[in-house]
Amino acid sequence: MTIDRIRAFNRFYTRKIGLTTNRFLKSEYSLVQARLLFELNRTEPTCAVDLVRKFGLSADYVSKIVSKFETQGLVTRTPSPGDARKQILVPTAAGRRVDRELKQRSNAHIARMIADLPPGEIRKLTEAMKTIEGILDPDRAPSQLVAFRSHRPGDIGTVIHRHGVLYAREYGFNHEFDAYVALGMARFIQAITPREHLWIAEIRGRFVGSVAIVRCDDRTAQLRWLIVEPAQRGRGIGRQLVAEAIRFAREANYRTALLWTIDFLHCARRLYAEAGFHLTETKGNHVWGRELIEECWQLELFATGENITPD
């Protein structure tokens, strides 16, 4: 009885949201193709093997889809910074445009579907969806809200550890990067001021991300130590952390916020650009066991002539 009911709901819902045809919402892409393009536009640099693992698809099938994307100019391949045997899939401007168009089609379709529903019914609908997700996948469900809090004892070690592990695994950084993060965080926490802050993002009490605002001088703040756990990327956590850091920097009356990043951190760079930062400086360096291009991005926190509270 339970299985029959779930199957009946599956048939109803897939028909209702337009997933019973070969093309996603009358586009030239299948549902799987649209989903993979969505993933490539919203996660950290991804390899084809990551898509295979995440979606349980065959390697041949993913390879064919990626080849189609390449032919259409939607993605490019670049060597993985952490493993030269792998190639990272990076959306092009055309790939981002197609992704936006597909998202707009999906949004319009859903808007039409609920247009005649009263607000109370819409709330009941979305709460029911949260309930289903919470039961079937509690770690990913929207009902498991991301909590943002100030740092507590022990958090500094966690942030250092996760930076070291993830940057070694994803980009091939060596132990020197651990020391770089540890030294910077030690200086920060030993002399932290009211105009500085470290945020921790958690889901059900588990660390999923961090970011900090560090004072450079009276006018300038630096955004540092932005990180999001791989399993939680694509949920908007990084975007929320950046927004919270910018809000704090404005309230602390800094005039400018800056940050340093690396040219191959594509998703982070996209977050910074969306938040209003712009690239101001680049420099090549051999550090943390490899050659890389460091980038400085800056954001003017107040428009020219805008009133600000005196320091």
Q: Are 232 and 203 in contact (CB under 8 A)?
A: yes
- For residues 277 and 199, membership in a common domain is answered with yes
Residue that is last in its domain, among 95, 116, 137: 116
Q: Tell me what pLDDT residue 143 has.
A: 43
- 139 in a domain, yes or no? no
Task: Identify any residues that bridge with 214 across adjacent strands, giving them in sequence order.
Answer: 222
Q: Are 159 and 165 in contact (CB under 8 A)?
A: no
Q: Provide the CATH number for the domain around residue 270.
A: 3.40.630.30
- For residues 171 and 82, membership in a common domain is answered with no
Q: Provide the CATH number for the domain around residue 34.
A: 1.10.10.10
Q: Tell me what pLDDT residue 16 has.
A: 79
Residue that is last in its domain, among 99, 116, 133: 116
The SS3 assignment for 79 reads: strand
- 272 in a domain, yes or no? yes
- For residues 211 and 291, membership in a common domain is answered with yes
Q: How far apart are CA 268 and CA 50, in angstroms?
A: 18
- For residues 181 and 254, membership in a common domain is answered with yes
- For residues 150 and 294, membership in a common domain is answered with yes
- For residues 56 and 154, membership in a common domain is answered with no
Q: Tell me what pLDDT residue 138 has.
A: 64
- For residues 190 and 49, membership in a common domain is answered with no
Q: Tell me what pLDDT residue 261 has.
A: 97
Q: Are 150 and 206 in contact (CB under 8 A)?
A: no
- 273 in a domain, yes or no? yes
Q: Domain total for the chain?
A: 2
Q: Tell me what pLDDT residue 282 has.
A: 96
Q: Tell me what pLDDT residue 144 has.
A: 57
- 10 in a domain, yes or no? yes
Tell me the CA distances in angstroms from 98 to 41, 88, 109, 233, one per residue in order: 10, 19, 17, 21
- For residues 180 and 274, membership in a common domain is answered with yes
- 306 in a domain, yes or no? no
Residues in the chain, pLDDT under 70: 20, 43-45, 81-85, 138-144, 303-311
Strand order in the sheet with 87-91: 46-47, 87-91, 75-79
Summarize pLDDT for 104-113 with one digit per residue, the tens. 888 888 889 8
- For residues 198 and 248, membership in a common domain is answered with yes
What the block records as the tokens of 141 is 């469900």
Q: Tell me what pLDDT residue 202 has.
A: 94
- For residues 190 and 108, membership in a common domain is answered with no
- 151 in a domain, yes or no? yes
- For residues 8 and 95, membership in a common domain is answered with yes
- 310 in a domain, yes or no? no
Q: Tell me what pLDDT residue 83 has.
A: 63
The chain-wide mean pLDDT, for the chain, equals 87
Residues in the chain: 311
Q: What angle do CA 80, 83, 89 make, to 5 degrees?
A: 25
- 42 in a domain, yes or no? yes
Structural domain including 24 reads 2-116
Long-range contacts: 8-13, Cβ < 8 Å, 24+? none
Q: What's at 105, amino acid-wise?
A: R
